[in-house]
Amino acid sequence: MIVSSHVLAEVAQTVDQVLIINHGRLVIESSLEGLTARVGASVRVRSPQLSLMADALQREGIETTITNDHALLARGTTREQVGDIAFSATVPIYELANESSSLEEIFLDLTSEEAS
């Protein structure tokens, strides 16, 4: 069955496979799990030494963003890799959690890239 909808929060709760079409062109076809892992995944890090953690991650080529709630998002990496880097840098970690974007955020990212 194919479901076409702009209510992506509901779609994400009911589908296994995702096709994103923009202006009549197929942008991506993937499992929902694979799409969120590949496109929108990041690792949320909480530490009392966020600036040291950000520096250590950036030295390894990992893009970081410090959030408004005193956490750090590391993109394109895994919890294990972040944990290893924190250990090597002797930075204490209070939380390491996978964080993925919503299907709507992923859709907007992918279709805005296609428009460029």
Alpha helices in 31-78 (DSSP H): 32-39, 50-59
How many domains does the chain divide into? Answer: 2
Same domain, 72 and 83: yes
Looking at the fold, whether 60 and 79 belong to one and the same domain comes out as: yes
Tell me what percent of the residues of the chain surpass a pLDDT of 70: 93
Taking only the tens place, the pLDDT of each residue in 43-69 is 999 999 999 999 999 999 999 998 888
- Residue 2 within a domain: no
Least-confidence region, from 7-16, 30-39, 59-68, 81-90: 30-39
The pLDDT value recorded for residue 88 is 97
pLDDT of residue 40: 60
Domain ranges, residue 91: 42-100
Q: Could you tell me if 60 and 107 are in contact, meaning their C-beta atoms sit under 8 angstroms apart?
A: no
Residue 43, phi then psi, degrees to nearest 5: -115, 125
| pLDDT reported for residue 31 | 85
User: What is the mean predicted confidence (pLDDT) over 12-24?
Assistant: 89
Q: What is the pLDDT of residue 38?
A: 65
* C-alpha neighbours within 13 Å on the C-beta side of residue 62: 26
Q: Are residues 31 and 55 in the same domain?
A: no
Which pTM was predicted? 0.61
- Domain-located, residue 1: no
Buried b (16+ CB within 10 A) or exposed e, 74-109: beebeeeebeebbeeeebebeebeeebbebeebbee
